[in-house]
Structure formats: structure tokens, C-alpha cells
Chain A
């Protein structure tokens, strides 16, 4: 069952990313990405991280992507002249990216002992997570709140139209 779910989700996920790459319309791209993120949430659930899975779906697939959709609505993508030159850059880059993939897989094989697959104990208990978050990681947690406030204020100030004009 778990195997089936994993393979189903992987196929959907990779297909969604490919769809995002191919689709001409930004809105479709964004929807594909939502699909991919939802699949990632499924992987998190498979990996004993229910809390993170929920967060992933709510914040990433929900909040963040809604922001993207809004911005896509506000921006006319087809405006502007895009001189079609340097066709080789994406091809070359993709080649290099594949090389990177191979390198990383080799690195994985070399660097790690076979991953500990037999670990069957459940670790992702949300209450444990919360406990850890408010004890060991209290300060980073608090600092994150400041960060978010700052980002919020910053975003508003950046986008606000100047009164004069």
C-alpha cells in the first residue's frame, strides 16, 4: 500500500513539475506547482511527519501559492520584448543540471551508509514537535516571528504607491 502510494505520488509530482515547465500560461504553471506541493505534503505524511505535511499543504500549497496567483493576475506576462537569442543557454544549463544530478547520486552512494530503513518508531508526534519548538528552539522560533513581521511591513512599503504620483 505504502509502495503504491509512494509511486503514485512520485509520478504525479514529477509530471506536475514537468507540466509546470511546459505550460505556456503562468496560471497553469502555478496550479501545477500547487499539485506538486500537495504531493510533497503526501511524502511528508509517508515519512512520519504529519504536522509538517499539514503545514506544507496549508502554507505552501495554500497561502504562498495564492499569493503567486494574485501576482500573476496583476501582471501582464506577455508585455515587453523578449529578444529570442542565446537559445543554447537553457539546453546547456539542462545538461549541466543532469550532470549535477548524477554527481549528487554518486555522492549519496559514497557518503552514506545504507539509510536506516528499519527505523519503525514513530517520531513525528505533533506534541513532541511542539515541545521541542518551545524549549530547544524557542529563540529561533521567536526570531522567526520578527522576521515575518519585518517581511510583511517590508512588502507593504515596497509595493505601496507613492502618494505624490
Chain B
């Protein structure tokens, strides 16, 4: 059997890579992709703990996370499209209407 801590460490590595990707890339779509990677890393941790505790509930949570992620992606991409239509750009540096 593979020690479950390996999975957790892998999940942490993926999560941190997601963060790094979020900060390195400059367009909204790829940043959104990085967020999805972080979400997946969290899912991996859930499944691992579910296995460790021999309880199915963790898997159920992942199921819900995936469904919610689907909804979130639909809305998120719609918003990205809208931003693109308005600003003709999806570079994050171009989007600063919240500047105080």
C-alpha cells in the first residue's frame, strides 16, 4: 500500500503550484485554470482523508465540489466573456476599475 501521506503531500504540492501559476500568468483564463487546479488539489486531500477514515462522506463532498465547480466555471467563463466584450482584453493588468 502507498502511504496516504504521499497523497497529501502531492495534494499540497499541486495546491501551491496552483497558487504560483495564479501569480505568474497574466490572463484571466489561465488564472481561472489555476484556481481549478487548487480545487482539484483540495479534492485529492478530501478523498485521501475519506480513505483514511474509511468513511464515504469525503467522496460525497468531492462529488458536490465537482458539481459546484461545474456551475462556477459556467458563470465564471460567462463573466470573462463579458469582461472581454467590455474591455477588449482579458489581461488582469487592464482590469482595474476597482482602483480607489
Contacts and interface: CB of A to CB of B under 8 A. Distances in A.
Physical interaction between A and B: yes
Contacts, number: 231
A64 B69 contact: yes
A117 B70 contact: no
Contacts of B77: 67-68, 71, 155
Interface residues of A, number: 81
B43 to A, nearest CB: 7
A114 B18 CA distance: 26
Given A97-B19, A123-B56, A155-B75, A49 B50 contact: yes
B96 to A, nearest CB: 11
Given A17-B14, A123-B55, A33 B91 contact: no
A82 B92 CA distance: 8
- Binding site of A, secondary structure by majority: helix, strand, loop or mixed? helix
Contacts of B33: 20, 29-30, 33, 68
Contact of A151 (B48, B64, B72): B72
Interface string B43-85: 1100110111111110110111011111111110111111010
A152 interface: yes
